Structure 1
Amino acid sequence: MNRVRLVIFNAALGPLDYRVPETMQVEPGSVVVAPLGPRQIIGIVWEPERLPATEVPDSKLRPLLGKLPVPPLKAELRRLIEWTADYYCAPLASVARMVLASGGALKGPATMTEYRLTDKQPDRMTPQREKALDALQGEQATMRELAELAGVSVGVLRGLVGQGVLEPVEVDCDRPYPRAHPAHDAPDLSDSQHEAAQRFITAMRKGGFAPFLLDGVTGSGKTEVYFEAIAEALTSDRQVLVLLPEIALTEAFLRRFENRFGSAPVVWHSSLKSTERRRAWRAIATPPAQGGAQVVVGARSALFLPYAALGLIVVDEAHEISFKQDEGVRYNARDVAVMRARFEKIPVVLASATPALESLQMAESGIYEKIDLASRFGGAQLPEIATIDLRETPPERGRWLAPPLVAEMTARLERGEQSLLFLNRRGYAPLTLCRHCGYRFQCPNCSAWLVEHRLSSRLACHHCGYETPPPPACPECGTEDCLVACGPGVERIADEVREVLPQARVALVTSDTLNSPEKAAEFVQLAEERLVDVIVGTQLVTKGFHFPELTLVGVVDADLGLEGGDLRAAERTYQQIAQVAGRAGRGSKPGEVLIQTRHPEASVIAALAAGDRDAFYTAETEARRHAGAPPFGRWAAIIVSSEDEAEARDAARAIGGSRPELPDVAVLGPAPAPMALLRGRYRYRLLINARRSAQVQTVIREWLGALDFPRGVRVGVDIDPYSFV
């Protein structure tokens, strides 16, 4: 091969051809360095017949500069990249870039210097040095990491190095991770769990693509079941990928994994340090039989890593909308996971207590094999669910918790049991206004109200991150002490709990308070040791936690998720409330769920109260079928944005004016997006509704490909959208 075609990480240029020097050996999937003008770029060698490119005579080809010391990307991964780019109308280069997510990993083997304590004491003890010595017992890490761990400056530690109290240790950057052992602590499974686990194990031994939907009620032991499939993969030296929807849940999962298999898995998420990403990436690209990674637990981006010997994929809480990425390549990790399993010819398990309607439909049609766990493990019973009609039993004036819910919380507190209050709204109040002139605080970059956060004394935008301290006077009329918080957030609910139950120990659980795996682990420990009486949280508390003494769940505002124009609002509301209800009564004590609502007759609320999931899904299925919505039809969105409102509007009108006239494709819009200004860009949307038979991606590519836009205009395509803001 003396001529190769590269995918380079510049979507505007597309594939480029290069000459291979006689001294270099490359193959499809090789990661290489190539010249581009005066610069050097990284590219991936691709099969030329699969990528169209401008034909350049051999005599004009520039030579490759080098091949990077990493294994070639496997054909299965290249096919996944192609499929993702094609299905989600994304540039091939943008998808391929996600595979090479650690620049340090591409440089080959390396060593680094870490430090650890010796037996020597410092010549002179200071409070900072004493603090460091106490914190660093048994620790070994880089200087910067040790400084963060001890809460002291790097200068303090350098002084200890100079006195021989800390000693340098040269370590291999790619040192192997501790090995997991399939038989370390095998559990006693119930009959239904054992039957489900055997089905997975049989599929793995048989080989080939096998998609499963593991549909089990909350507390039924789904994790223990797919752990047995993981054990089978470990026995046969195959790798496993477990996708989790929330990084904050990672710590609790890692502990369960370590208890079962004797060591922690490899972790992959955006918060890893560069050295951790490098080590994980290179371990993943190495077969387990050669000391490589065995099990990877990660966020959605872990799906595109170059696994050397992938044998099983598990998508836990597979219904979660956080698996859908809404920026850059707008892919759904749940669906891409199924496709990766198909290309790799391996089993994939989608686990959920409230599966997405699309997944249930795939099982109904026989594409997925559905495995049910209909009862809780160990004889625990599902909680009793009742509604509180806020029209008949409203909270006291100025409060948000109805008397029946407060009474049940009081009873739980007296019995030494725990309660959980769920409200999917961060901060103290969603809107702050001036009682004198009515001025409302709005984000300068987005068409959204600023949310008051009293814990941090900030008014914050939850869309762009803008923050400002609350002013002492109204910026419109100048009146002092006139600002009013409107509506409740979780911080306000937590304050109310402290008022009505002053003796209760309250934990606030949101992405603001549990913003790292360590803080999440600290909360879990406090709750398990019964040092928390009432948990107040957002959707973060709806999944993953198991507290045996938690016997009451209160849903503060069940109607909140039904507001707005979200086409999946009913399904999402059902899933959230059903998941948070599942936190109650997971031990030997019975659980109860109280749902505060102004619309107890709504189909979602009625189905939850009756415990009739099938009735809700049947009604939702028929509504989707009637509307031609997924899974019976196709949705796609075109989002047009610019810093200039007129430019965005004109571009959107140009797209709408050239819409295709096809019998199986309907185009709605353009119209200003519900979030018409986001991060300083004005936004317009078009929504496409098509029959299943329509080639939506081909239609969109040909439609938009014929148009030219000003440089300041961005046009994004969202296939199967989940967000409609």
Structure 2
Amino acid sequence: MVPEGESWQGDGAPPDAAPAEAEAVRLAVLLPLPLAGSYSYLAPAAAGLGPGDLVLVPFGRRELWGVVWDRETGPDGAPSAEAALDTARLKWVGRRLPAPPLPEVSRRFVDWVAAYTLAAPGAVLRMVVSVSSALEPPKPQQAVRLVEPAPEGLRPTAQRRAVLEAASEGPARPAAELARAAGVTPEVVRKLVALGALETVELPAPPPFALPDWSRPAVDFSAAQAAAAEVLRGKVGAGFSATLLDGVTGSGKTEVYLEAVAAALARGEQALVLLPEIALSAQWLERFERRFGVAPAEWHSDLAPPQRRRTWRAVAEGEARVVVGARSALFLPYPALGVIVVDEEHDGAFKQEEGVIYHARDMAVVRASLGAIPVVLASATPSLETLVNVQAGKYAEVRLPDRHGGALLPEITAIDLRVEKPERLPDGNPGWLAPPLREALAGTLAAGEQALLFLNRRGYAPLTLCDACGHRLQCPHCTAWLVEHRFRGRLFCHHCGYARPLPPACPACGAEDSWRACGPGVERLLDEARLLFPEARVALASSDTLTGPRAAAELVERLRDREIDLLIGTQIVAKGHHFPHLTCVGVVDADLGLAGGDLRALERTWQLLQQVAGRAGRDALPGRVFLQSHDPDHPVIHALVAGDREGFLAYETEERRRGNNPPFTRLAAIILSDPDPRRVDGLARALARRAPRRDGLEVLGPTEAPLAVIRGRHRRRFLVRARRDLPLQRLLRDWLAEVKVPSSARLAVDIDPYSFF
């Protein structure tokens, strides 16, 4: 048998001693490319390659890694029914890579996600093996140690004696470290190795992650928490289940679901916790370390390449016992996954909008089902889809109706902006805070407590226009206005990243110094707060200022240490955080999002405002929340003020049912784009002519997308609505196969769309 990792021939040619055809096997190898399926290769039967093995194979003029997906010949070498290519035309596998085989459940997950999302299986595989450098083992660390007895004829010098003395005092260590300990240059150490006084050895790699101690005691639970934790512990090891952990903000959901993690660890299994925002991880990591004594493995886009390599391999080898990460962490190749937790399961950040388009919450349920393990969906504001599954008996439910430690939910008040109009600021500019909110903030700050102003709009102003002619500054690559970020001195497009400074004169009329900022962003609120409360220590929190977990952790620490009096932020501060001294929350524009134009606009606004309101009064001090609105009688605002969650959900459920919308039907979006608007229109017309017609299926469009141009590509959309019993994916696949897509065009399929831009 060819040893693992050893190449028998890397150029696609047969081995030097070519085996007879009966001694070769045909393998289906899936490559990490957006192709229709796997490719056939030959390998020596003696190599023992089988499904899951990672291999190098020739592909065109290059060599790619791939995964053996299946054997196309049996043990006797006879081709299977699926083997259609002439064996003589096939190339040979190069070599097996020294990496753990891809688990069978991961391969099934790839196939399932590809079929559901209508994505190429290789594109999904690329998400599973996203760090190809981790397929080779890490290079062992070289160290040096003392040779005894010392070689004859060694001429001692002061520097050499210092090195030999330092080497005698401890175990082998890297040459650079030994040189520092002896106070000499590394060249002195290298010379002693050459003379035989020191020898080079390989150090065993330290474990990449410390083992969490699941036996450490948990926090003191309330009766409701203890009962919920017992239910979740009982799910682990009992096969597949999906459970909604439904608890009000501040009820201690994290500590409860960590008991399910502990139960998986006790069984020697791995655990995965998905968070929607990396900025949420700072306090979560603290809670995890208090419970288990060590930090978990992290997985998100801010990891440096060496850390990504180390973490991927540790997960694949089963050495990373607990992983906390963003949605992509779901696709890591866990060999012994025992439980999945999706925290803030309602959050839209779990939806991947580019490449392979999927919703991580829904795919987490699928991954749990394929692996016969439990999944826990945790939220204070569960999605309507999840609640309907609970009502249908598909998901179990555990509820935490009260805040931990006796804290009370905050009092919520609506401020009618039609009556309580914001006043102008001392500098003459318009203000955005109504008098009741100003007074509440002043009282909170005077009492030495902390406050939060929430506005889900980045930058200084959402629109900049010329006062002389009304010209609006627009992105040249997108149908979107440029947003002024005054602190950075530039205008930005939030869709493609285009940036430019504010021009000195209007390009339309030539007027100078005529630019006017329209509407507030969080930067403009910061200016207003500094004018109104000059003694307060004010900070800003948005995705522009919190660029990673470290920045988020520093902000949390400053708030905890009471170095900030007033925090102004976007949705990045609306969930997951616990600020014990924060007692007042002001929502500057509670109407933002209510007119979103999509079927989930009301639900998302209710969830967001409920979450941001939940930041107030989470400890001993009571909390107050003020919602500024031009429509305080709107069902969302009314439900929040009245604390009538069930009433709002019943209203929203009936609206969805009456509108024939999900979760009572299924939706799919077809998005076409091309640099040439005529070409994309021609493609849209060709698809429209071949649109399927079937009872229970409705095809809407084509129409220009709300954002008709992004990054210079013109966009058109179809929306397909189908009864839940129809085979939606098969119908879409057959339809799309009838039209040839030009090479310049792109066609994306979004099953269960969450955005409609």
Cα gap change, 1:113 to 1:720, in 2 (>3 Å) = farther
The answer to whether structure 1 residue 575 and structure 2 residue 607 are counterparts is: yes
Q: Residue 197 of structure 1 is aligned with which of 229, 234, 237? A: 229
Contact 1:196 1:225 in 2 (8 A): yes
For the pair 1:69 / 2:93, whether they are aligned, the reply is no
- Where in structure 2 are the equivalents of 1:121-520 lying within 5 Å? 175-205=207-237, 207-287=238-318, 292-397=319-424, 398-520=430-552
**What is the CA–CA distance in structure 1 between the aligned matches of 2:752 and 2:470, rounded to whole Å?**
39
* 1:692 corresponds to: 724
Deviation sequence 1:284-336 (CA, Å, 0-9, x none): 1123xxxx111000110000111121001000000000000000000000000
Aligned mates of 1:604, 1:687 — CA distance in 2: 27
How far is the alpha carbon of 1:171 from its aligned partner? 7.0
Contact 1:175–1:279 at 8 Å: present in 2 too? no
CA–CA separation in structure 2 for the residues paired with 1:346 and 1:37: 41
Specify the alignment match of 2:682 in structure 1.
650
Contact 2:408 2:617 in 1 (8 A): yes
Deviates more, 1:183-192 or 1:648-657: 183-192
Partners of 1:110 and 1:174 within 8 A in 2: no
Give distance in 1, aligned partners of 2:564 and 2:187. Answer: 44
Residue 249 (structure 1) shift:
1.6
Conserved 8 A contact 1:68-1:108: no
> Quick one: which of 136, 139, 145 aligns to 1:110?
139
How many Å apart are 1:59 and its aligned residue? 2.6
2:121 to 58, 77, 92: 92
- State how far apart, in whole Å, the 2-side matches of 1:356 and 1:113 are: 53
Distance 1:573 1:100 in 2: 36
Return the match for 2:698 from 666, 678, 694: 666
Partner of residue 57, structure 1? 86
Other structure's SS at 2:100 match: coil
Q: Which moved more, 1:196-205 or 1:427-436?
A: 196-205
User: Quick one: structure 1 residues 324 and 112, their matched pair in 2 at CA, closer, same or farther if it must change by over 3 Å?
Assistant: farther
> Does the 8 A contact of 2:26 with 2:71 survive in 1?
no
- Matched residues in 2 for 1:260 and 1:165: separation? 47
Question: Counterpart in 2 of 1:550?
Answer: 582
Instruction: Map 1:673-684 to 2 at 5 A.
Output: 673-684=705-716
Q: Deviations over 1:396-446 (max 9, x none)?
A: 141110000000000001100111111100000000111111111000110
**1:350-403 Cα shifts (integer Å, max 9, x gaps):** 000000000000001111001000000000000011100000111014111000
1:603 aligns with 2:635: yes
Aligned to 1:43: 66
2:719 partner amino acid: L
Number of aligned residue pairs: 679
Change (3 A) 1:13 1:576: closer
2:454/2:586 contact within 8 Å kept: yes
Unaligned runs of 5+ in 1: 115-139, 144-156
Cα distance between partner residues in 1 of 2:417 and 2:543? 28
Q: Please name the residue that 1:130 is paired with.
A: none
Q: CA deviation at 1:184?
A: 2.9
SS at match of 2:527: helix
CA RMSD of aligned residues (A): 2.3
What is the CA deviation profile of residues 80-124 of structure 1, one whole-angstrom value per residue up to 9, with x for unaligned ones? 11111111111111101111111111012423689xxxxxxxxxx
Cα distance in 2 for residues equivalent to 1:521 and 1:55:
57
Paired position in structure 1 for 2:146: none
CA separation of 1:29 and 1:435: change in aligned 2, threshold 3 A: same
CA–CA separation in structure 2 for the residues paired with 1:391 and 1:164: 78
Deviation at 1:563, TM superposition (A): 2.2
Mapped to 2, the partners of 1:695 and 1:360 lie a distance apart of 24
Q: Give CA deviations for 1:46-91 in whole Å, capped at 9, x if unaligned.
A: 1368999771122322111111111211221111111111111111
Where 2:294 maps in the other structure, the secondary structure is coil
1:33 maps to 2:59: no
Secondary structure (helix, strand or coil) at the match of 2:583 reads strand
Structure 2: give runs of 5+ residues left out of the alignment.
Answer: 1-23, 74-79, 144-172, 191-199, 425-429
* Separation of aligned partners in 2, 1:622 and 1:27: 52
**What CA deviation, in whole Å up to 9, does each residue of 1:473-527 have, x standing for no partner?**
2122222111111100011011111111111111101010010111111110110
Worse overlay, 709-718 or 57-66: 57-66
In structure 1, distance between residues paired with 2:201 and 2:386: 51
Look up the equivalent residue of 2:672 and give its one-letter code. Answer: V
Which of the residues 17, 35, 43 maps onto 1:12? 35
Q: TM-score, normalised by structure 1?
A: 0.90
Per-residue deviation, 1:176: 2.7
* Structure-2 separation of matches of 1:564 and 1:268: 32
User: Which range moved further: 520-529 or 179-188?
Assistant: 179-188
1:335 and 1:54, CA in 2 relative to 1: closer, same or farther beyond 3 A? same
Are the equivalent residues in 1 in contact too, given 2:99–2:137 (CA < 8 A)?
yes
Letter paired with 1:338: V
Shift of 1:251: 2.1
Answer yes or no: is the 8 Å Cα contact 2:690–2:738 preserved in 1.
no
Alpha-carbon separation, structure 1, partners of 2:680 and 2:188: 62
Partner residue, 1:562: 594
Q: Secondary structure at the match of 1:562?
A: coil
Q: Is the 8 A contact 1:628 1:691 kept in 2?
A: no
1:525-564: CA deviations, max 9, x gaps? Answer: 1100111111110000111111111111111101111123
Please give the alpha-carbon distance, in whole angstroms, between the structure 2 residues aligned to 1:310 and 1:165. 49
State the alpha-carbon separation in 2 of the partners of residues 636 and 352 from structure 1: 26
Q: SS in structure 1 opposite 2:708?
A: strand
CA distance in 2, matches of 1:610, 1:297: 36
CA contact (8 A) 2:36 2:120 kept: no
